[in-house]
Amino acid sequence: MASTLLIVSPAQLQRLAAQTPGLEPALTRLATLNLWTTLSLVSMLRRQSTVERVAMLLVTLAGADLADGWLIETPQADLAAMAAIGRTTLIQALRTLEAMRLISVGYRHIRLSNVAGLRALCDGETPLAHPPARASAAIR
């Protein structure tokens, strides 16, 4: 995927802001989110535990709109590179997170099943697993 770099002078930015209501707060929010993402990734790379590192990467990729059911559709090779670990190590960490019922790994995606648990793990706490899902309402 190609990227384009757009350089805007301060004078051009001021003209755009004057012509476009809401541009300034939107750019401020974008800058804040980019700074949060950068700081989160740096913090993630400092983690010694690969399971915590991968959990923090998934939380960071999901961003501010993080919620149960969120899908991460990034190739595992890219996730491994972002976490600065090998793909085999990534797969082991994903299996651990899946066994903890924090995520579910599917074909070409990872579903965040327990966001509160992932955040707890990122904070160095023991995550609480979701209670087991009922097999069926008809079976009691």
For residue 56, the enclosing domain spans 24-122
Q: Does this model's pTM top 0.75? A: no
The number of beta carbons lying within 10 Å of the beta carbon of residue 55 is 28
Report for 39-43, 98-102, 119-123: range of highest mean pLDDT: 98-102
Q: Which of 68, 70, 89, 69 is nearest to 79 (CA)?
A: 89
- The helix/strand/coil state of 96 is helix
Three-state secondary structure call for residue 106 = strand
Structure tokens at 119: 């955040």
Q: Quick check: is 89 in a domain?
A: yes
Confidence of residue 115 (pLDDT cuts 50, 70, 90): confident
121-139 pLDDT, tens digit per residue, is 888 787 765 544 443 333 3
pLDDT in tens, 11-28: 998 888 889 889 888 888
- 134 lies in a domain? no
pLDDT score for 116: 87
Q: Is residue 45 part of a domain?
A: yes
